[in-house]
Amino acid sequence: MDRLHGKVAIVTGAGGGIGGAITRQFAAEGAAVVAIDIAAEPLDGIVAAVRADGGRIVPLVADVAEEETSEAAVARAVADFGRLDVVVSNAVFDLPLAPLTTLSLADWRRTFAVNLDSSFLLSKHAIPVMERGGGGSIILVASQQARVARPGRPWYCAAKGALVQLAKAMAVDHSAQNIRVNTLSPGPVETGRYLKNFATVEAARASHHTLLGRLGAPDEVATGAVFLASDESSFMTGSDLLIDGGYTAV
């Protein structure tokens, strides 16, 4: 415990399965968290759970696709906790499985606004504050589908692949500021967002395509985020931490 003692983090998509697990583990490891989600109800549940365990957390209900959200989140971290050390850009906007020929331009642009642009916006406003504090860690949550494709996911594969390259470019640009930038790529994880693509839970669990024969759990991904946020990964930047149960091994 206390691997993140004294650190202040921003986590987007904090009301979701993976984002919620990251938020809870960060708080349990001693970090103060600014937790962002567009949906108030699930975010309220995460905030209540963290506070019940004695953690430090403030919620922000907002759309990460808007630049004002990133500005407000960074300002809140400084105002409430005095600094900013870690950013986890995890928010995602999803669409039903479909080839790109069926997508509207508005849907395509919305997926990129949330799944890619929000990482740019949050990083842009976080980096100057992190630099003033001596550095930090930026974690962009990508996916195993940054490396391999599945049917009906063109917007997702494109945005997640872009995040991997964005992290590498940012790592090059900001290493002199002691800011590390990595991606965290989960494989198929049993979350509400994943399950809704299937008629039944059983069908979802049978779809895993992993060597370990099952879907991942949100907490298994969150442990990777704790590692990337902590000093344990101090010699790691420009990398992609893949936690996919062997999905991409064959």
Q: Identify the residue whose tokens are 């809140």.
A: 76
- Positions marked catalytic: 156
Report pLDDT for 16: 94
Tell me the whole-structure pTM to 2 decimals: 0.96
Please check whether residue 3 lies inside any domain of the structure.
no
Give me the residues of the chain with pLDDT under 70, please.
none
The answer to whether residue 72 is domain-embedded is: yes
> Is 100 a member of any domain?
no
What is d(CA 250, CA 108) in angstroms, rounded to the nearest whole number? 30
The domain containing residue 172 runs over which residues? Answer: 8-95+110-187+218-242
Q: What is the pLDDT of residue 131?
A: 98
Does 201 map to a domain? no
Residues in CB range of 236: below 8 A, 6 or more apart: 180, 182, 228
For the beta sheet containing 56-61, the strands, ordered from the edge strand earlier in sequence to the opposite edge, are 56-61, 32-37, 8-12, 86-89, 136-141, 179-186, 240-243
In a domain, 197, yes or no: no
Overall number of domains in the chain: 1
pLDDT at 142: 98
**Beta bridge mates, 171:** none
Q: Per the domain annotation, does 192 fall within a domain? A: no
CATH of the domain at 32: 3.40.50.720
Residue 123 located in a structural domain: yes
- Position 179 in a domain: yes
pLDDT, tens digit (0-9, with 9 covering 90-100), for 34-86: 999 999 999 999 999 999 999 999 999 999 999 999 999 999 999 999 999 99
Model pLDDT, residue 197: 74
**Exposed e or buried b for every residue in 162-183, given b needs 16+ CB within 10 A?**
bbbebbbebbeebeeeebbbbb
